[in-house]
Structure formats: C-alpha cells, structure tokens
C-alpha cells in the first residue's frame, strides 16, 4: 500500500477508529469493575436522540451541541426512569430497558423524518458509524502530514475524538486514586471523605463524552463493544489494575487496526467483491480477542474469595 493511497483514504479512518476505541476502553475498565458495564450500552442508546435533536435545532454536526444534546437526553432518561418506576410500579431494570430503547427508537424516527441528507447523519450511520467516509482528501502522501494547507482539511471528527481522548486521560490521571478506592471499597472511600456519588456521576459523564466522540466513528450500537470487550479481555491478562488498563489500550488499538484492515481487505482475500463495515468488523475483532483471552489468558481462572 503506497503513501498516496494510504494517507488520504485509510490513515484518518484508522486513526479515528483507534482513538475512539481507546477513549471508550479506558473508562470501560472502571465501568466493568463497578459492574456498570451496561451503562455504556445505555449511554450509547440515549446519545442518539440527543444528537439528532441537537442537529435539528442547530443545523450542524458540531461537538458542543452534540455534547449538550447527549447530556440533555441523559437527563431526560433519568427523569423517565424514575417516572416509569414510580407511576408504573415497574422494577428499575425494566424501567431502564424501556427508557433506553424507547429513546433510541425515538432518535431513529426523528432521523428518518428529518432532512439530514447533507450531512453524515442517517439511521445507518447512527447504527454502524461512518468510519470509511472519514477520509482526508487534501492529502497526497506522507508529506501531507507536514503541509499546513492539507492539515487544515483533516476531517473534524478527528479533532473531536482527540479532545475526548485527552479529556478521558486527564480525568483518569487526576482522579485515579479515589476512582480505584471507591470502585474497590465504596464505604471505605466514603469514610475517607471521598465524594463517591459525585465521582460516579463524573465517570459516567466522561464515558458519555467518549461515547459521543466515538458515535461518529463506530456508531451508536458498537460503542458498547469498545466499553466492554477490551477491558474484559485485559482483566484476564493480569491481576493488577495498572496493567489491566494498559492491556485494554493494547486490545482496543489491535481491534481498531485489525478490524479496519479486515473490513477493507478481508472480503477481497476471501474472494468476495465488496468491503464490509469497518465498525462492525472492529467490534467483531474485539469480541474474538475476548474469546481468545477467555480460552488462553493467564488469569482466566480466578478463585474469588474462598471460604475459610
């Protein structure tokens, strides 16, 4: 693959895929350990109507309104869950499932009814992402990386996902100790004076930031795979949290790169004509990695807390 072909067509989608996967996998480590992995799923569902409404109101696909829309939708979902739970006398899990699917479906309907033909915002892209279309047409080869004119033409999604990843890293770096403490032993953390509730909300907000950024690249549904698969596979590799986080980054990068390459070239190798969805393949690869670690990783047999 030559630079003239690779840089404009594959470099930016691959980079965005990698950064989005890492941005989701990092907070995913804590979500999985807190047994809140499905919050990632919930976020990815609620984000859709929020983004669509933000687009309908502002007429543009930009980071700030999208984040606000997603945050607004999250707020609406919390109110809805409480209302359904109390008024309908329905158990919390069912109320959550009901709320998230309903909001997601509303997002799909809104998308179909609105005129989004000018931008990359339609049902298919919302579900599967539009990684392949995030190309860098101003680039003519590796030299373009040093060409300010060409750099100005980088897809805006790249900047968005970089900002999200930086935000995620800053949050984890700053709050690493209280996060670990409250994830392992919440009451001890509270006794130490850690504001565990606020920290928990902050973690979910950071995960939402990653989800919104990744929405562009891998789509709403597949975000969940990036939250769960790399951290879960990483947990099987090690018994130390620092190492687990490092492994999760390795697996996220591996999923994104391999997924992108297999999606583009795999069908050709197998004799089929067309490439398949890169986002779909990335999620599949992350699942395969998890399956592989579940069979062969060093720490897959865990004793838990044995009785005396």
Residues making contact with another protein (CB under 8 A): 33, 174-178, 180-181, 183-185, 187-188, 190-194, 235, 238-241, 243-244, 302-308
Q: Please give the biggest Cα pair distance in the chain.
A: 68
Shortest Å, Cβ 244 to another protein: 5
141 Cβ contact list (under 8 Å, min separation 6) = 2, 3, 4, 7
Shortest Å, Cβ 127 to another protein: 33
**Which CB, 173 or 269, lies closer to another protein?**
173
**Which CB, 52 or 179, lies closer to another protein?**
179
**Which CB, 213 or 241, lies closer to another protein?**
241
**Which CB, 149 or 308, lies closer to another protein?**
308
**Which CB, 91 or 115, lies closer to another protein?**
91
Cα Rg of the chain, angstroms? 20
Count Cβ atoms within 10 A of the Cβ of residue 111 and give its class: 0-12 exposed, 13-18 middle, 19 or more buried: buried
**Which CB, 142 or 184, lies closer to another protein?**
184
Instruction: Give the Cα-Cα-Cα angle 46, 208, 213 (nearest 5 degrees).
Output: 100
Instruction: Give the Cα-Cα-Cα angle 235, 237, 239 (nearest 5 degrees).
Output: 65
The conformation of residue 133, written as its DSSP 8-state character, comes to: G
The backbone torsions φ and ψ at residue 258, rounded to the nearest 5 degrees and listed phi first, read -65, -40
Helix axes 196-235, 37-58, angle to 10 degrees: 110
CA-wise closest residue to 206 among 157, 159, 158, 166: 166
């Amino acid at each position: 693959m030559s630079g003239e072909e690779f840089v404009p067509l594959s470099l930016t989608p691959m980079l965005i895929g990698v950064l989005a996967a890492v941005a989701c996998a990092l907070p995913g480590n804590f979500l999985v350990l807190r047994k809140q992995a499905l919050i990632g799923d919930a976020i990815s569902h609620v984000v859709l109507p929020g983004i669509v409404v933000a687009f309908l109101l502002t007429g543009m696909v930009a980071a700030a309104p999208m984040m606000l829309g997603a945050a607004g939708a999250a707020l609406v979902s919390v109110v809805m869950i409480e209302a359904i739970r109390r008024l309908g006398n329905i158990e919390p899990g069912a109320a959550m499932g009901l709320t998230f699917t309903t909001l997601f479906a509303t997002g799909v309907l809104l998308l179909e009814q609105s005129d989004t033909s000018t931008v990359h915002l339609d049902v298919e892209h919302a579900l599967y992402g539009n990684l392949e279309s995030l190309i860098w047409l101003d680039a003519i080869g590796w030299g373009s990386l040093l060409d300010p004119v060409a750099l100005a033409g980088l897809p805006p999604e790249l900047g968005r996902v970089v900002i999200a990843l930086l935000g995620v890293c800053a949050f984890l770096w700053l709050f690493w100790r209280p996060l670990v403490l409250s994830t392992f032993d919440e009451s001890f953390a509270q006794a130490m004076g850690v504001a565990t509730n606020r920290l928990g909300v902050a973690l979910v907000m950071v995960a939402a930031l990653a989800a919104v950024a990744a929405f562009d690249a891998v789509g709403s549904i597949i975000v969940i795979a990036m939250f769960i698969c790399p951290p879960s596979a990483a947990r099987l590799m090690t018994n130390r949290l620092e190492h687990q986080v490092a492994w999760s980054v390795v697996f996220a990068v591996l999923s994104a790169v391999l997924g992108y390459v297999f999606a583009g070239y795999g069908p050709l190798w197998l004799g089929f004509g067309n490439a398949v969805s890169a986002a779909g393949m990335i999620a599949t690869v992350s699942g395969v990695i998890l399956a592989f670690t579940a069979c062969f990783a060093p720490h897959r047999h865990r004793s838990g807390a044995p009785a005396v």
